[in-house]
Amino acid sequence: MRSQQCKECCKTKYPILLLHGMGFHDRMPIHYYWGRIPRLLRKHGASIYFSGQDGNATVADNALQLQPLILSILQETGAEKINIIAHSKGGLEARYLISTMHMGNCIASVTTLATPHNGSKTIDWLLPRFRPLIRCFCRCFDLLRRLLGDHKPNTYSVICQMTSVGMRQFNAQNPDHPKVYYQSYAFVMRHPFSDLIMAIPNAVVSVFEGKNDGLISPANAKWTNFRGIYYGVTGRGISHPDEADYRRIPFRLYTPKQPHTISDITQLYIAIVRGLRLRGL
């Protein structure tokens, strides 16, 4: 009986759509973005779907890509709604779908992990001072994203929206829907050398915003029903790629006793989905 309960502890009422962030995608044939997370959630009874939107399109363009997918999932499963678990920029696309595209009746919950809800003070400082250089970099990156499958990459517009002013406007236009359950999570690296991939951005963001996961500070990630700042059990903390199980390995092979400290990012995802199940979602 206990084994059966364990197998079904993530069996939510509504299917789950994993919404990826910027710079990558999770389209077939290889869902490399989410690491071990989908397999473990399915092992515990969850019904999991991938989003497949562009990595570097604007929030609005990606939402247009996601709308028919959501309707297709509802038709396929016969469910009335879906749950969304979104990493990084994907959380903004979920909120845009709900508020601007009036899909709140199709979405039961939105869980955001390191989503830039409140804008970046780092971008506020960098953008006016290095605009030509940033534009040039964004054009080059858009070319790469097209080669990797993006249909409408627009990195510069995305960066501009992530300013404090841009996100204040976005938040005013996309308030929480009264029938959707929202919750948010933040993460931090212990120091720049915690993750060499994120070392430089972590150091830069630290100057303007303090502790961060290499891109997003807790103040930026905080939204409705904020669940706190999460750390890894080791001295390195949790980086932005770690949040989507980029390395596919635990941080440490033991269970920590401190609150908001985890030894494996998959533990957090299982806890999130269990929580949705307990809420009847």
pLDDT > 90? residue 33: no
pLDDT > 90? residue 132: yes
139 alpha-carbon distance from chain centroid: 24
2 falls in which pLDDT band (50, 70, 90)?
Answer: very low
What pLDDT does 114 receive?
Answer: 97
What pLDDT does 252 receive?
Answer: 64
What pLDDT does 231 receive?
Answer: 83
Average pLDDT over residues 273-278: 95
Contact 89, 21 (CB under 8 A): yes
User: Could you tell me what percent of the chain has a pLDDT over 90?
Assistant: 74
Taking only Cα atoms into account, the Rg of the chain, rounded to an integer number of angstroms, comes to 18
pLDDT > 80? residue 36: yes
18-32, 85-99, 147-161: the lowest-pLDDT one:
18-32
Distances (CA, A) of 85 to 81, 82, 94, 197: 13, 10, 9, 24
Contact 82, 70 (CB under 8 A): yes
Contact 84, 67 (CB under 8 A): no
Contact 176, 226 (CB under 8 A): no
260 falls in which pLDDT band (50, 70, 90)?
Answer: low
pLDDT > 60? residue 29: no
Output DSSP code: residue 246: T
Average pLDDT over residues 35-57: 92
Helix (H, G, I), strand (E, B) or coil at 160: helix
| Preceding omega of 153 cis (within 30 degrees of 0) | no
pTM of the model: 0.91
If one compares 31 and 131, the residue with the highest pLDDT of the two is 131
Which tens digits make up the pLDDT trace of 61-119?
999 999 999 999 999 999 999 999 999 999 999 999 999 999 999 999 999 999 999 99
Residue with tokens 């028919």: 68
Question: Please, which contacts does 258-267 make with residues 24 or more away whose CB atoms are closer than 8 Å?
Answer: 258/231, 259/228, 260/228, 260/229, 260/230, 260/231, 261/230, 261/231, 261/232, 261/233, 262/230, 262/231, 262/232, 262/233, 262/238, 263/232, 263/233, 265/37, 265/238, 266/36, 266/37, 266/40
If one compares 19 and 234, the residue with the highest pLDDT of the two is 19
Beta bridge partners of 110: 84, 182
Domains of the chain: 2-278 (3.40.50.1820)
What pLDDT does 245 receive?
Answer: 92
d(CA 211, CA 226) in angstroms, rounded, equals: 17
What pLDDT does 31 receive?
Answer: 59
Which tens digits make up the pLDDT trace of 190-210?
888 888 889 999 999 999 999
Average pLDDT over residues 128-156: 92
pLDDT > 70? residue 28: no
Q: φ and ψ at 54, to 5 degrees?
A: -60, 155
User: Could you tell me what percent of the chain has a pLDDT over 70?
Assistant: 92
pLDDT > 60? residue 271: yes
